[in-house]
Chain A
């Protein structure tokens, strides 16, 4: 069979999302950010919101998210994305405003902004990439680093007596009156990607319908930070991250969860 016989519309199973642009990605092999970016691009395009969406990028590995998804962006200071998004949305209530934040950004330096934006029930989506490590600065301990997990600042593993407990911020946010959806997803298999996309779309719909804050947490891999291969990172995530950060809806007001 010739290549030209294969490249036909009826054979199309996947294409690059329309809103992903041509800039080469800086993410490491095996990193979850790329897939999550694509899901966001797809959801915005599917909902026809590209001319209404304002993304708020963080400080962390995703600091350059604005180079990859072809929408308007505001690049926030470390941890302040929910405050930036609060104002962007309140001043432009017909717009779709989302933040994209890592664990250090959202659950350490930006804890106050995260909790208060969610508690006010800002009509925004918070996309939370939890890979339990500081990727950009070279693999230091994150608030979500698991007990015993080695990082460059916990070289002998996270010691609870020394470093405190990993923060289950998703569970914390689910307790707040202002959140309507807090869900924990992953993108390590095709099935997980499909499921995650449904959750992300629901979150975007909630924001546009003014239902309150939606948080979509992605339990993610960081093979560079974890000092392993992409394949082993996925396995390690399944065996270690999922038991501590179980997947599924932590809160879904609509469905009574």
Chain B
């Protein structure tokens, strides 16, 4: 079937995109504000059409370990959750990264800490791009700012995960998950055949066929010298990803004297702030990191030479701002503005904060 235009919630778009991409399996557990992902998959019954396996697990812990098991056999597996549920999955995510398994994780963030609130937040930035689980690992982190990108990043996330044998994560929030927009869904692609999987993932545990050694999917290596070698290999891979996979979007940056830096839903709101500022004659631009890791440090460093100040606008107490400051290395004033605990800012509020903290007005 070909491309299709639909009006969907961000969460629903993820489910449809997963089926159309040819994902092999989804394992999840209900939590607001992302439950539509599991609900939509269950309603669509892809096991009867594409053969995709969908299962409601007994917990987020079980779900991420099902992802580990499925991905360990070379299949395209995903899960989704929201902040507290992702905290539960972190052990499994660390194991997946340590075993170098490709998979796709979705976090539709809500306000925390603790049980917090079910309203949108971006306070899991640190958790996602700085680790979260134990050990030196990285997640390829995609931050969609529209329902269209929710759909598009399913395919992109899986492709990057398999390209680098590394977990990828879509980091969105309750706004992007719950809002409805027009979305162009991609055409259906057939799931990979068993032969294609054998060829693509010769490391996978699928039953030891004649003429090869046994495959063991593990993150365990008790010999510290060998474990250091493993880590050096991971770091080399991460460096390659940093060199090749940085993605960002510029909005009126060309002549900008000041920059807003924002991702996901915040970037949508910041677009309006930029327009409001321009109406007042302030040359404001917006740089939107699409990949939060790898972070668009180089381009921000370039803009540090050309601008008078930057404001990192986030639905948290100041997380990405640390990476903006590292990227600009003191060359330009970088401030943060955020709302916390599920409260969302307005464009006017951001403009006022920008004038006060960056322009000293």
- The CA of A238 and the CA of B124, in the complex, are separated in Å by 54
Which of the segments B54-62, B138-146, B342-350 contacts the partner chain?
B54-62
- The CA of A70 and the CA of B216, in the complex, are separated in Å by 10
- The CA of A80 and the CA of B217, in the complex, are separated in Å by 14
Q: Which of A51, A70, A75, A88 contacts B70 (CB 8 A)?
A: A88
Which residues does chain A contribute within 8 Å of B27, judged by CB atoms?
Answer: 87
Which residues does chain B contribute within 8 Å of A96, judged by CB atoms?
Answer: 207
Interface residues contributed by chain A, number (CB under 8 Å)? 31
A84 and B72 form a contact (CB under 8 A): yes
Which of the segments A52-60, A191-199, A239-247 contacts the partner chain?
A52-60
B167 within 8 A of A: no
B237 within 8 A of A: no
- The CA of A245 and the CA of B131, in the complex, are separated in Å by 44
A38-51 vs B, CB cutoff 8 Å, 1 = contact: the mask equals 00000000000011
Q: Which of B55, B77, B91, B208 contacts A72 (CB 8 A)?
A: B208
Say how far A141's CB is from chain B's closest CB, in angstroms.
Answer: 23
A235 within 8 A of B: no
A77 and B91 form a contact (CB under 8 A): yes
How many chain B residues sit at the interface, stated as a range, is 35 or more
Say how far B21's CB is from chain A's closest CB, in angstroms.
Answer: 16
A202 within 8 A of B: no
Interface residues of B in 43-74 (CB under 8 A from A): 53, 55, 57-59, 61-63, 65-70, 72-73
Q: Which of A66, A70, A71, A83 contacts B69 (CB 8 A)?
A: A83
Q: Which residue of A lies closest to B215 (CB)?
A: A72
Known A-B contacts A72-B214, A77-B95, A83-B69; A88 and B207 likewise in contact (beta carbons under 8 Å): no
- The CA of A76 and the CA of B55, in the complex, are separated in Å by 19
Which residues does chain A contribute within 8 Å of B65, judged by CB atoms?
Answer: 76-77, 80, 83-84, 87, 113
Interface residues of A in 64-88 (CB under 8 A from B): 66, 70-77, 80, 83-88
Say how far B98's CB is from chain A's closest CB, in angstroms.
Answer: 10
Which residues does chain A contribute within 8 Å of B55, judged by CB atoms?
Answer: 86-87, 90
- The CA of A51 and the CA of B205, in the complex, are separated in Å by 10
Q: Which of A70, A83, A88 contacts B205 (CB 8 A)?
A: A88
B69 and A56 form a contact (CB under 8 A): yes
A86 and B66 form a contact (CB under 8 A): yes
Known A-B contacts A74-B68, A113-B65; A54 and B206 likewise in contact (beta carbons under 8 Å): yes
Which residues does chain B contribute within 8 Å of A77, judged by CB atoms?
Answer: 65, 68, 91-92, 95
Known A-B contacts A87-B25, A91-B73; A51 and B209 likewise in contact (beta carbons under 8 Å): yes
Known A-B contacts A51-B210, A54-B205, A113-B62; A75 and B219 likewise in contact (beta carbons under 8 Å): yes
- The CA of A77 and the CA of B217, in the complex, are separated in Å by 12
Which residues does chain B contribute within 8 Å of A66, judged by CB atoms?
Answer: 214, 216, 218
A33 within 8 A of B: no
Say how far A249's CB is from chain B's closest CB, in angstroms.
Answer: 27
Say how far A49's CB is from chain B's closest CB, in angstroms.
Answer: 8
B207 and A53 form a contact (CB under 8 A): yes
B335 within 8 A of A: no
- The CA of A51 and the CA of B214, in the complex, are separated in Å by 10
Say how far B103's CB is from chain A's closest CB, in angstroms.
Answer: 11
Q: Which residue of A lies closest to B204 (CB)?
A: A72
Known A-B contacts A50-B208, A66-B214; A84 and B219 likewise in contact (beta carbons under 8 Å): no
Q: Which residue of A lies closest to B67 (CB)?
A: A87
Say how far A208's CB is from chain B's closest CB, in angstroms.
Answer: 12
A75 and B218 form a contact (CB under 8 A): yes
A63 within 8 A of B: yes
Which residues does chain B contribute within 8 Å of A52, judged by CB atoms?
Answer: 207
Which residues does chain A contribute within 8 Å of B53, judged by CB atoms?
Answer: 87, 90-91
B66 and A75 form a contact (CB under 8 A): no
- The CA of A201 and the CA of B322, in the complex, are separated in Å by 58
Which residues does chain B contribute within 8 Å of A74, judged by CB atoms?
Answer: 68-69, 72-73, 205, 216-218
Interface residues of B in 190-233 (CB under 8 A from A): 205-210, 214-220
Q: Which of B59, B68, B95, B214 contacts A73 (CB 8 A)?
A: B214
Q: Which residue of A lies closest to B61 (CB)?
A: A80
A87 and B77 form a contact (CB under 8 A): yes
Say how far B54's CB is from chain A's closest CB, in angstroms.
Answer: 10
- The CA of A20 and the CA of B217, in the complex, are separated in Å by 19
B152 within 8 A of A: no
Q: Which of B67, B68, B99 counts the most chain A CB atoms within 10 A? A: B68
B12 within 8 A of A: no
Q: Which of B62, B209, B220 contacts A112 (CB 8 A)?
A: B62
A37 within 8 A of B: no
Which residues does chain B contribute within 8 Å of A72, judged by CB atoms?
Answer: 205-208, 214-216
Can you give 24 A-B contacts (C-beta < 8 A)? A50-B207, A66-B214, A66-B216, A66-B218, A70-B214, A72-B206, A72-B214, A74-B73, A75-B217, A76-B69, A80-B61, A80-B62, A80-B92, A83-B65, A84-B65, A84-B69, A84-B72, A86-B55, A87-B67, A87-B77, A88-B73, A90-B25, A90-B55, A92-B73
Apart from A50-B207, A90-B53, 15 more pairs, CB < 8 Å: A54-B73, A54-B205, A66-B218, A71-B214, A72-B214, A74-B73, A77-B91, A80-B62, A83-B66, A87-B77, A88-B73, A91-B24, A91-B73, A92-B207, A116-B58
